[in-house]
């Protein structure tokens, strides 16, 4: 897939790809490419599923072919929606997402098989995670279609920025303020809202809503941030009142750590705000200020809160600390996988607690090896790079900031999760986008991708000439004119 990503797209942006000398440049929609790539993703996912079944000692059946076709049909419908409502959208985004989601389903199914065998031995009942993940995939694709259908132009979102911001903040804070009956404390973090059989993690949606708010807010107040305040130690510091949004974001993220004990969302939230301010102002000093604030916040959180200390201890001493149990099991799994991996269905990923969500990357690393993990990370890089491409190419500032923020949000989330699982940084409670089991995460990320598709559609759509250029005669055809007779 990497080969198709780099070059050809650049030449198809409006105005650069005209080769036939036609009067109006036509941008190819590349929807055919998208369909072919979706088919490719379906083939890869079907093969992966076949491998799991073969390695788990059951015969390959026609059933698997039907699953593959159903997968292709599901994303085929999304493809049709893109064809209809965002015809110029980036043709790589949807296939990459389909690939990740499909492989995630295969991995979850595989871990289900392991957990089911273990539960059977122990005489317990077992609820597989894969069927609900299929359901959430369908729901996510419906929401993606709705985003494309309802948000005809991403700039309309800017009009609802304050609404988005308010709803986002409320959603973010909701689990913390709601009583434990509705918002139970799961694994030491209060992130979930449970209504009967339904459970939902509002932070996933809040992330996108707050992104919309910040993009709009920063674009409108851009000048304020670029004005320098006092000059101190050779650095232009912003005026104190202009620091307010950063301070608010910082305080909010600290609040998340304290009230919801969600280190991951806090880190993600603060990182996104920081990068968006940097993109909007083009001033690196904001990053420096933000990182110092973050470092101070981290130190304070470490010295004040036991659960933060526990996480850091687990990170530094995964082999000895009690809290490092999960990380330890994950690292053992990754080491067992080695370079080539045990093969899908050939490892023991279900030894790692919560392998199907928090630690799905460890499961992938065990069964697909370092090569598989590297491929997955590169797919994420590709996906987020396509998002950034849309940001670079789109013409309005709001679109640029929103797409940049969305792409970076996903990238940072992958970094935080993968870094945590592989022991690079302390473990936090974030999910791997599209790969991990989890309804709200999947649905939220489909909304995010819907917005990226919308913005990339806007960036590649041929621009309607707003006013016709006056036709000027070519210089070569202009007749000469005598200005002054030389003496």
Partner 1 sequence: MNKPLRRVAVAMMAMIVLLLANATYVQVIRADALRNHSGNSRTLYQQYSTPRGQIIADGKLLASSEPTGSERFEYKREYADGPAFAPATGYFSFVYGTGGVESAENEVLSGTSDSLALNRLQSMLTGQQQQGGNVELTLNPAMQQAAYQQLAGDGVRGSVVALNPRDGSILAMANSPSYDPNRLATLSSDDQQQAWNELSEAPDDPLVNRATSTLYPPGSTFKLITAAAALESGEYDYDSEVTAKSSIKLPKVDAQLPNYGGATCGTMPTAPLWEAMARSCNTAFAEVAGKVGEKKLRETARSFGFGRDLDVPMSVAPSSVGDIENQAQLYQSGIGQFNVRTTPMQNAMVAAAIANDGEVMKPHLVDKTLAPDMSVLDSTDSEELGRAVSPEIAHTIRDMMVKAEQYAGDEGKISGVQIASKTGTAEHGEGKDPHGWYVAFAPAEDPQIAVAAVVEDGGDVGASATGSKIAAPVARAVIRAGLQGGG
Task: Examine residue 412 and tell whether it contacts partner 1 (CB under 8 A).
Answer: yes
Bridge partners for 193 per DSSP? 200
Minimum CB–partner distance for residue 453 and partner 1 (Å) = 18
Give the whole-angstrom CA distance, residue 334 versus residue 373.
10
Of positions 124, 153, 236, 282, contacts partner 1 by CB under 8 A: 282
Residue from 168, 175, 423, 444 binding partner 1 (CB under 8 A): 423
For residues 275 and 448, which CB has a smaller minimum distance to partner 1 in the complex? 275
Distance, CA of 414 to CA of 87 (rounded, Å): 28
137 versus 397: smaller Cβ distance to partner 1:
397
Interface residue with partner 1, options 109, 261, 311, 400 (CB under 8 A): 400
Taking CA atoms, 381 is separated from 278, 331, 413, 448, in Å, by 21, 23, 12, 16
Query: Which of residues 54 and 139 has its CB atom nearest to partner 1 in the complex?
Result: 54
- Check residue 374 for interaction with partner 1 (CB under 8 A): yes
What pairing do the DSSP bridges indicate for beta strands 228-232 and 235-238?
A: antiparallel
Tokens of 118: 């273990």
Q: How far is the CB of 211 from partner 1 (least distance, A)?
A: 14
Binding residues among 33-62 for partner 1 as defined by CB under 8 A:
none
Kind and range of the H or E run holding 189: none
- Count Cβ neighbours within 10 Å for each residue of 207-238 and write b for 16 or more, e otherwise: bbbbbbbbbbbbbeeeeebeeeeeeeeeeeeb
DSSP result, 405-459: HHHHHHHHHHHHHHHHHTTSS----PPPTTTS--HHHHHHHHHHHHHHHHHHHHH
Residue choice 212, 312, 373, 453 for contact with partner 1 (CB under 8 A): 373
Q: Which residue has the tokens 């598989």?
A: 372
By CB under 8 A, residue 375 contacts partner 1: no
State yes or no: residue 487 binds partner 1 (CB under 8 A): no
Smallest gap from residue 472 Cβ to partner 1 (A): 30
Token pair of 104 as six digits: 């995630």
User: Which positions from 312 through 371 interact with partner 1, judged by CB under 8 A?
Assistant: 319, 328, 331-339, 348, 350-351, 365, 369-370
Among 73, 170, 259, 424, binds partner 1 (CB under 8 A): 424
Q: Does 384 bind partner 1 (CB under 8 A)?
A: yes
- Residue 402 found at the interface with partner 1 (CB under 8 A): no
Q: Judge whether 301 and 308 are in contact, CB under 8 Å.
A: yes
**Residue number, 209 or 365, with CB nearest to partner 1:** 365
Is 415 a binding residue for partner 1 by CB under 8 A? The answer is yes
Give the Cβ contact number of residue 143 at 10 Å.
17
* Using rule CB under 8 A, residue 109 touches partner 1: no
Site membership for partner 1, residue 96 (CB under 8 A)? no
Residue 73 or 335 having the CB closest to partner 1: 335
Q: Which is nearer to partner 1, 192 or 225 (CB)?
A: 225
Backbone phi and psi for residue 102, each to the nearest 5 degrees, phi listed first: -65, -45
Contact 334, 422 (CB under 8 A): yes
Instruction: Compute the distance between CA of residue 409 and CA of residue 268 in angstroms, rounded to an integer.
Output: 7
Span interacting with partner 1, options 168-176, 178-186, 293-301, 419-427, rule CB under 8 A: 419-427
* Residues forming beta bridges with residue 236, ordered by sequence position: 231
Question: What distance, in Å, lies between the first and last C-alpha atoms of the chain?
Answer: 71
Question: Which residues of the chain form contacts with partner 1 (CB under 8 A)?
Answer: 114, 117-118, 120-121, 275, 278-280, 282, 319, 328, 331-339, 348, 350-351, 365, 369-370, 373-374, 377-378, 380-381, 384-385, 388, 391-392, 397, 400-401, 404, 407-408, 411-412, 414-415, 418-419, 422-424
């Amino acid at each position: 897939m990497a080969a198709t990503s780099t070059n050809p797209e650049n030449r198809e942006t409006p105005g650069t790809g005209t080769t036939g000398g036609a009067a109006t440049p036509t941008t190819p929609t590349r929807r055919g490419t998208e369909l072919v790539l979706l088919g490719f993703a379906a083939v890869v996912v079907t093969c992966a599923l076949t491998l799991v079944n073969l390695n788990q000692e059951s015969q390959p059946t026609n059933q698997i072919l039907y699953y593959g076709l159903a997968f292709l049909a599901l994303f085929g419908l999304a493809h049709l929606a893109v064809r209809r409502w965002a015809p110029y959208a980036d043709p790589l985004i949807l296939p990459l997402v389909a690939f990740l989601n499909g492989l995630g389903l295969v991995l979850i199914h595989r871990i289900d098989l392991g957990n089911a065998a273990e539960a059977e031995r122990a005489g317990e009942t077992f609820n597989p995670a894969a069927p609900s993940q299929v359901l959430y995939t369908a729901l996510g694709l419906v929401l993606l279609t709705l985003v494309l259908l309802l948000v005809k132009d991403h700039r309309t979102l800017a009009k609802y920025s304050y609404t988005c911001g308010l709803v986002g903040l409320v959603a973010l804070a909701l689990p913390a303020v709601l009583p434990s009956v509705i918002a139970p404390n799961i694994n030491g973090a209060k992130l979930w809202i449970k209504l009967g059989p339904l459970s939902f993690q509002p932070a996933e949606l809040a992330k996108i809503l707050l992104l919309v708010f910040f993009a709009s807010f920063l674009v409108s107040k851009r000048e304020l941030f670029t004005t320098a305040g006092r000059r101190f130690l050779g650095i232009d510091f912003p005026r104190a009142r202009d620091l307010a949004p950063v301070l608010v974001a910082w305080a909010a993220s600290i609040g998340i750590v304290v009230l919801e004990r969600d280190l991951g969302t806090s880190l993600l939230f603060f990182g996104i705000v920081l990068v968006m301010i940097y993109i909007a102002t083009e001033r690196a000093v904001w990053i420096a200020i933000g990182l110092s604030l973050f470092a101070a916040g981290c130190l304070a959180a470490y010295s004040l809160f036991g659960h933060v200390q526990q996480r850091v201890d687990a990170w530094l001493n995964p082999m000895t600390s009690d809290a490092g149990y999960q990380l330890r099991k994950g690292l053992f799994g990754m080491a067992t996988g080695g370079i080539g991996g045990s093969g899908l269905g050939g490892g023991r990923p279900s030894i790692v607690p919560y392998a199907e969500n928090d630690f799905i990357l460890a499961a992938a690393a065990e069964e697909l090896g370092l090569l598989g993990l590297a491929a997955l990370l590169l797919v994420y890089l590709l996906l987020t790079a396509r998002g950034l491409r849309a940001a670079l190419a789109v013409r309005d500032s709001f679109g640029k900031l929103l797409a940049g923020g969305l792409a970076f949000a996903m990238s940072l989330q992958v970094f935080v999760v993968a870094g945590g699982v592989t022991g690079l940084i302390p473990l936090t409670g974030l999910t791997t986008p599209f790969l991990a089991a989890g309804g709200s995460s999947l649905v939220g990320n489909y909304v995010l991708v819907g917005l990226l598709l919308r913005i990339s559609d806007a960036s590649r759509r041929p621009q309607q000439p707003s006013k016709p250029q006056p036709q000027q005669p070519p210089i070569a055809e202009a007749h000469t004119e005598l200005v002054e007779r030389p003496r």
